[in-house]
Amino acid sequence: MWAKKELVTLLQKLIKIDSQNPPGNEKEITFFIRDYLKKLQIPFKIYEFKKNRLNLVCHLHSKKSRKALLFTPHTDTVPASGDWKFPALSGKVYKGRIYGRGATDCKVNVAACLALIKALKKKNIVLDNLDLVFAFCGDEETGSLLGIKPVVNHLKDIDYGIVLDAGEFDIIVAQKGLLHLRVELFGKEAHGAYPQRGINAVEKGVRILTDLLKHKFSYRKHALLKKPTLNIGKFQGGDKVNIVAGYAFFDLDIRYLPSMKESQITKDLEKIIKRYKIRYKIKILARQSPIEIDKNSFLIKVLGKCLREHRIPVKFKPSFGATVINFLEDKGIETFSFGFGSKGCAHIKNEYVKISNLYRGVRVLEDFLTAADLALAKKLAGN
């Protein structure tokens, strides 16, 4: 069994490594993981898709290699802005908590994975049926274009995935769809003293956005996910105060429910724009489909039983932000999210994680793997 002091020290070391993104540089933390695995004589591979933007993958093979399970936490953090009670990269221990940027999101899960690997190695535990793959990836905080999204293209024959990026042992089984749009408006320039001679793209944009904010999207209520949302992230246009603005654009962040279709969202948007008789162009900046995961899937049932044995409530929750689940699901990998962060601590100043979460998390993962391996044998025998 792991000593709490050793686990705390491990997480403190991870927090003290600066992996803020932006600017984005996962080299030092990836090299820390590399050196940790070297001491355990665990083989690994590093993937670098841009200078200093590193990802590390290691495999623990089972005796029969009948199925493969991927664990993936991310190594980057959001920037540490604001005034902190303790230095943001200190890993300060205070009243049963470890403070620092990334403590909850998501270095507690990185530490749990490393501790799990060490425990399996030291105890000479080799599973019978389930290969384990660990992908420690960067760039999650800015879209994963240099992280798990390209990494998963290099991973073969992965059957199951657990994204370790959640809090309080929650099992994430639903997520809204994400649609980031840029709407460009093309008006006509004129002298500011004669606005009637031009077509003001800024003015049209204001009217379009006013109508859009009043628009009610059609959707069915969801048991876990709240209503769809729309955020205007950016609005820019015009060149000079005395020139009728000939060009403007605005960026939209739309989060939608599984009952909604992306095509209908864009049709609704276009209908509003066309009211104002201006040339326009819509660019899709990013998209992720909504997610609904079967609570009765094989691994979730095993995990639920394991949590109950540890006297931890089984809680099925939605993710209100975008996770990397989509990138695994798109590859046909049966995936859900789970993790040991502390509630309400992600991305805040004075971020912390409860030490008890880390300690219990490693124990849960160890027992879960043993139970999953046994359950997989029975499942395959039944087939």
Q: Which of 309, 257, 262, 308 is nearest to 282 (CA)?
A: 262
343 burial via Cβ count (<10 Å: 0-12, 13-18, 19+): exposed
User: Residue 332 and residue 338: Cα distance in Å, rounded?
Assistant: 19
Three-state SS across 26-48? Answer: CHHHHHHHHHHHHHCCCCEEEEE
CA 309 to chain centre: 28
User: Residue 360 and residue 151: Cα distance in Å, rounded?
Assistant: 29
* Model confidence at 249: pLDDT above 90: yes
Q: pLDDT tens digit string along 291-300?
A: 999 999 999 9
- DSSP code of residue 13: H
Residue ranges covered by each domain of the chain = 4-175+291-382, 182-287
Q: Are 72 and 324 in contact (CB under 8 A)?
A: yes
Residue at token pair 């040991």: 340
* Model confidence at 323: pLDDT above 90: no
What pLDDT is recorded for position 4? Answer: 83
By percentage, how much of the chain surpasses pLDDT 70? 99
**Helix, strand, or coil here: 205?**
helix
**Helix, strand, or coil here: 375?**
helix
Task: List CB contacts of 24: < 8 A, sequence separation 6 or more.
Answer: 52, 53, 76, 138, 139, 142, 146
What pLDDT is recorded for position 169? Answer: 98
* Model confidence at 2: pLDDT above 70: no
Residue at token pair 């654009």: 249
User: Residue 202 and residue 245: Cα distance in Å, rounded?
Assistant: 6
Q: What is the mean pLDDT of residues 94-106?
A: 97
Q: Are 248 and 189 in contact (CB under 8 A)?
A: no
Q: Helix and strand tally (H, E) in the chain?
A: 9, 16
**Helix, strand, or coil here: 287?**
strand
* Model confidence at 314: pLDDT above 80: yes
Burial 262-288 (b: 16+ CB within 10 A, else e): beebeeebeebbeeeebebeeeeeeeb
Phi, psi torsion values for 95, nearest 5 degrees: 50, 50
Q: How many CB atoms lie within 10 A of CB 363?
A: 17
Q: Which of 325, 306, 329, 327 is nearest to 317 (CA)?
A: 325
Q: What is the mean pLDDT of residues 215-242?
A: 96
- DSSP code of residue 192: T
* Model confidence at 138: pLDDT above 90: yes
What is the domain class of 182-287 according to CATH? Answer: alpha beta
Binned at pLDDT 50, 70 and 90, residue 321 comes out as: confident
213 burial via Cβ count (<10 Å: 0-12, 13-18, 19+): exposed
Q: pLDDT tens digit string along 149-203?
A: 999 999 999 999 999 999 999 999 999 999 999 999 999 999 999 999 999 999 9
Q: Are 317 and 310 in contact (CB under 8 A)?
A: no
What pLDDT is recorded for position 383? Answer: 65
- Please, what's the largest Cα pairwise distance for the chain? 81
What pLDDT is recorded for position 231? Answer: 97
Q: What is the mean pLDDT of the chain?
A: 96
- What the block records as the tokens of 319 is 């993710």
Phi, psi torsion values for 132, nearest 5 degrees: -115, 135
Q: Which of 199, 197, 196, 202 is nearest to 188 (CA)?
A: 199
- CA Rg, the chain, in Å? 24
Q: At the topology level of CATH, where does 4-175+291-382 sit?
A: Aminopeptidase (3.40.630)
Q: Which of 155, 133, 156 is nearest to 71 (CA)?
A: 133
Task: List CB contacts of 377: < 8 A, sequence separation 6 or more.
Answer: 128, 129
